[in-house]
Chains A and B, each alone.
Chain A
Amino acid sequence: TAMTSQVKPGDRLPQVTLFDGAPNKPVRIDELCAGKSVVIVGVPGAFTPTCHSSHLPGFVADFDKLKAKGVNLVICVAVNDPFVMAAWAGALGSGDKVLMLADSRAEFAKALGMDIDLTAVLGSVRCRRFSMHVVDNVVKSVNAEEDSSKVDASSSCRLLTKI
C-alpha cells in the first residue's frame, strides 16, 4: 500500500521532477502545468500489454476531443527510464499529442499516493493506472483503476465526461 494517501480533487500537484527523453532533460511537473488545463495519465509500464494496446491509444485518439474541452496538454507518466519512455512514444506514434515523461525513481507516483509494488513482475515499484484532470496545478478529478491491469475508470472516454 502507498505511504502517501491518494491524491484527490482540491490537492495541488506536487513539486516533482520528471524527465523528458533523457536523464539530462528534467522537467518540474508543477512548472509545466502552471496556468494550463492538463490531463495526466499514469500507467504501470511502457510497452506492457494494456498500457500499449488499450490505455494510451485511447488518449491519442481522443486528443482533439480533449482539446475541444479546453485541455492544453496531455501527459503520460510511468516509472520507466527516459529512454524507454521516448522509445514508447515513438512506437505509439503519440508524437505531439501525448507528452511522455519518465518518473524514473517513482517520486511522482509516490507523491500522488499512486505507487504500487510490481517488483515480482516488472522489477520495481510502479505507478497505478489512473487519469487525472488538473487546472493550474489544482486537481479537478482523479480516476484510479482499482485493478491496474484493466482500463475502465481511467479511460479517456470516461475522463471526457468529467471535464
Chain B
Amino acid sequence: MMHRLGFCAGQLGSLRLRLAGQLLPARAMSLKVGDKLPAMELVEGPEMKKVNLQELFAGQRSILFGVPGAFTPTCSRVHLPSYVRDYDKLKAKGISQVFCLAVNDPFVMQAWSDANGAEGKVRMLSDTQAIFVEAAGLSLDLSHLLGGLRAKRFVMVIEDGVVKQLDVEPDPTKATCTLADEVLQSL
C-alpha cells in the first residue's frame, strides 16, 4: 500500500541533468499549458525503438498520461484501465493517439500493456532515465518505496506538439482528475 507522499523540491535542486550532451540545471523548465513538448528521445517497446517527442505528437490531437509505476496498485487497477476502456470514446472526440508514460524499462512496460489488454489502444513510453519527467517538473522521488525517481500521476492533452491541458493528481496514490472520463468531459 503506497503511503501519502510529500513533494520534496529541495532534494532535486542540486541535481544536474545531462541532456543531449549539454548540462542543464534541474529546474530547466516546468512544462505548462501553451508550451511545446521538448525534442527529447524516449523509448517505445522491447525492440527499444527511439521516439522523438516532437515528432510523435506533431500534427495530432493526443493524450499523454503519466503513472508512478507499471504494476503498482492504483496505476493497474484504475488508471490504465480507464484509458483502455474509454479509448473509443476518446477517438470519437478527436483524439488520434493515447500514450502512457512511466519511469519503467520497456520490458516492464510491454508486460504491463499485455496484462491490461492495452495493445492497439494505449501506447507505452518508457522515460527510462526520467529525463522527461525531470525536465517537465513532473518527477516524484519514490526511492523509499519503489527504488528511484518516478513520474507524477498526470494527464496532458497535446495538439500539434503543444500542451493544451495539463492535470496533475495532487495525491499520486489516487486517480481522480487524471482518469479518462474526467478528460473526456473537458474535450
Chain A residues in the interface with B (C-beta under 8 A): 22-24, 45-49, 52, 79-81, 83-84, 86-88, 91, 102, 104-106, 119, 121-124
Chain B residues in the interface with A (C-beta under 8 A): 1-2, 46, 48, 69-73, 76, 103-105, 107-108, 110-112, 115, 126, 128-130, 143-148
Measured between beta carbons, the chain A residues less than 8 angstroms from B104 are: 84, 123
A52 closest partner in B (C-beta): B107
Instruction: Return 14 A-B CB contacts under 8 Å, by A number.
Output: A23-B146, A47-B107, A47-B108, A48-B105, A79-B147, A81-B146, A83-B71, A84-B69, A84-B104, A88-B111, A102-B147, A105-B148, A121-B48, A123-B126
Measured between beta carbons, the chain B residues less than 8 angstroms from A87 are: 71, 111-112, 115
Measured between beta carbons, the chain B residues less than 8 angstroms from A84 are: 69-71, 104, 108
**Please, how many angstroms separate the alpha-carbon atoms of A22 and B146 in the complex?**
9
Measured between beta carbons, the chain A residues less than 8 angstroms from B112 are: 87
Inter-subunit contact A105/B107 (CB<8 Å):
no
> B1, B73, B105, B144: which contacts A121 (Cβ < 8 A)?
B105
Inter-subunit contact A45/B1 (CB<8 Å):
no
Inter-subunit contact A47/B73 (CB<8 Å):
no
Measured between beta carbons, the chain A residues less than 8 angstroms from B107 are: 45-49, 52, 122
CB distance from B16 to the nearest CB of A (A): 16
CB distance from B19 to the nearest CB of A (A): 15
Inter-subunit contact B111/A105 (CB<8 Å):
no
Inter-subunit contact A124/B147 (CB<8 Å):
yes
**Please, how many angstroms separate the alpha-carbon atoms of A47 and B70 in the complex?**
12
**Please, how many angstroms separate the alpha-carbon atoms of A119 and B129 in the complex?**
7
Measured between beta carbons, the chain A residues less than 8 angstroms from B73 are: 83
CB distance from B162 to the nearest CB of A (A): 28
Inter-subunit contact B148/A46 (CB<8 Å):
no
Q: Which 5 A-B pairs have the closest CB atoms?
A: A104-B147, A123-B128, A81-B146, A87-B71, A47-B111
Measured between beta carbons, the chain B residues less than 8 angstroms from A122 are: 105, 107, 128
Measured between beta carbons, the chain B residues less than 8 angstroms from A80 are: 108, 147
**Please, how many angstroms separate the alpha-carbon atoms of A123 and B70 in the complex?**
14
Inter-subunit contact A91/B147 (CB<8 Å):
no
CB distance from B127 to the nearest CB of A (A): 9
